[in-house]
């Protein structure tokens, strides 16, 4: 596996994927159309998300979840097994449009990412809307990164990762750290990142996406950028300068309305000299790795992430050996 490459995985579409895609068309997409239409609906969805924090989310017996506290928010450490390198960590930002979900809702990703990366994962419970703003979420992400470093982790032993809005937060955090002259993590993984919050119509995959309505994504972007410059790279990372950032892995589905902005991030990063592994999985829905309990394609994606991190570690070791010589 090479780090800097585009990949379209070749596989027969599973019957599970066919069934789930059909189900999303009739359930998730209509519900999304309702939720991302009015501020009151966002507030209601956020309150429902609060209820999800008290619901027990089962994990395999070998997975250990421990609560973690930070200055302005909390989170949880997720460890998949005992044979992990405790000197290293993944800092994970969950998705949910900046108004819903939590580390609990994304445990199917975080425990598998811990196994794939062979290290513990810190899933951040960052502040979200409609009460809080994008700047609050970014401040929490930066605080969490500082906390990880204060706990003794070296920056080169940390990986950032996130999905959807969490992918946006991953990219914004990298840009903010770079601009502040802070030490950068070894790599970052973005799953279906929401990277462009400018007022653009999303025509590509408008009808093919089984989950996200393009018009509602545009409305949500307007909501979050009210009073902000949507072209600011910390608001729309796709328009940033990626010079100096660590290697990126970007995973998306071919039918997503967010696919094109994920591809644009990959292109801009490469223009700035950043190695990017861009994977576009045929007919996979938005953030399909979260469906790994039922989708064989999603489980395969975690194996790809594991190999990517192995390649990053190998490249870092080779660079260190060259410098020493």
Which residue numbers are catalytic?
Answer: 164, 256, 286
- Distance, CA of 286 to CA of 259 (rounded, Å): 9
CA 15 to each of CA 21, 22, 210, 297: distance values in angstroms, whole numbers, following the listed order: 10, 11, 16, 11
List helix spans (H) across the chain. Answer: 15-26, 28-35, 39-52, 107-117, 134-150, 165-179, 214-224, 259-271, 296-324
- Distance, CA of 14 to CA of 316 (rounded, Å): 36
- Distance, CA of 114 to CA of 83 (rounded, Å): 11
CA 276 to each of CA 3, 6, 248: distance values in angstroms, whole numbers, following the listed order: 6, 8, 5
* Chain position carrying tokens 């950043």: 274
- Distance, CA of 288 to CA of 281 (rounded, Å): 9
Phi-psi region of 149 (alpha: psi -120 to 50; beta: other; left: phi over 0): alpha
Strands 89-93 and 121-125: parallel
């Amino acid at each position: 596996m090479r780090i800097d490459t585009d990949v379209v995985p070749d596989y027969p579409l599973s019957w599970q994927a066919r069934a789930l895609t059909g189900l999303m068309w009739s359930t998730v997409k209509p519900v999304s159309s309702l939720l991302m239409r009015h501020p009151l609906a966002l507030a209601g969805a956020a309150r429902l998300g609060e209820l999800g924090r008290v619901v027990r989310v089962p994990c395999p017996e070998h997975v250990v979840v421990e609560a973690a506290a930070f200055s302005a928010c909390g989170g949880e450490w997720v460890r998949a097994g005992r044979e992990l390198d405790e000197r290293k960590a993944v800092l994970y930002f969950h998705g949910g449009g900046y108004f819903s979900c939590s580390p609990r809702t994304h445990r199917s990703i975080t425990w598998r990412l811990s196994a794939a990366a062979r290290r513990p994962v810190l899933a951040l419970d960052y502040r979200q809307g409609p009460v809080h703003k994008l700047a609050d979420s970014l401040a929490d992400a930066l605080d969490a990164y500082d906390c990880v470093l204060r706990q003794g982790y070296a920056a080169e032993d940390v990986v950032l990762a996130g999905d959807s809005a969490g992918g946006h937060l991953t990219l914004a955090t990298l840009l903010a750290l770079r601009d502040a002259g802070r030490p950068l993590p070894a790599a970052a993984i973005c799953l279906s990142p929401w990277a462009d919050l400018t007022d653009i119509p999303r025509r590509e995959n408008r009808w093919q996406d089984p989950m996200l309505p393009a018009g509602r994504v545009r409305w949500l972007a307007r909501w979050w950028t009210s009073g902000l410059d949507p072209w600011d790279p910390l608001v729309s990372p796709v328009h940033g300068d990626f010079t100096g950032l660590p290697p990126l892995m970007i995973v998306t589905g071919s039918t997503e309305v967010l696919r094109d902005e994920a591809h644009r991030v990959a292109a801009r990063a490469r223009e700035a000299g950043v190695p990017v592994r861009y994977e576009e999985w045929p007919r996979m829905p938005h953030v399909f790795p979260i469906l790994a309990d039922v989708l064989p394609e999603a489980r395969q994606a975690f194996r790809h992430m594991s190999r990517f991190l192995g390649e990053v570690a190998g490249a870092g070791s080779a660079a260190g050996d060259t410098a020493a010589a």
